[in-house]
Amino acid sequence: MSRHRRPQGFNRTDRIADQIQRELSRLLQFELKDPRVNMANVQDVKVSRDLSFADVYFTLLGQGAEEGAQAEEVLTGAAGFLRSALAQTLNTRTTPKLRFHYDETPERAAQISRLIDDARAEDKELRPDSDDSTNE
């Protein structure tokens, strides 16, 4: 048996990332009083192997990229407060420095969906005789 065998399943950094995600979600909802981030939803957290950094990916419900960039600035400014609050709940010797990233994936998905709908509508206008049973 090798001494450097990787553990199966959920490793320590994954467990810590999951704990950080849950706790940050709670902190953003109940502790951070800035209206620019009250609709922030923590999507994912990636913790570096040495636990020095945690990259936090978030979205904003019903908001755009401009509001996302503004919320990213607010969260970056509040990173020290959030890190201190995390330190009280994490069972680690050190608490990772938080780096916030606005996740534009939902916006991009909606934009692609709109483009597909527009293309289908245009196609239907060009070929009105076609029998397309997939449309509502």
pLDDT of residue 131: 54
Q: Which residue has the tokens 């449309």?
A: 135
User: Is pLDDT larger for residue 82 or for residue 5?
Assistant: 82
> Average pLDDT in the 117-127 region?
85
pLDDT of residue 112: 87
Domains of the chain plus CATH, in order, are 12-126 (3.30.300.20)
* SS3 category, 130: coil
pLDDT in tens, 63-73: 778 889 999 99
Reported confidence tier of residue 119, pLDDT bands at 50, 70, 90: confident
pLDDT of residue 4: 47
* DSSP classification of residue 40: E
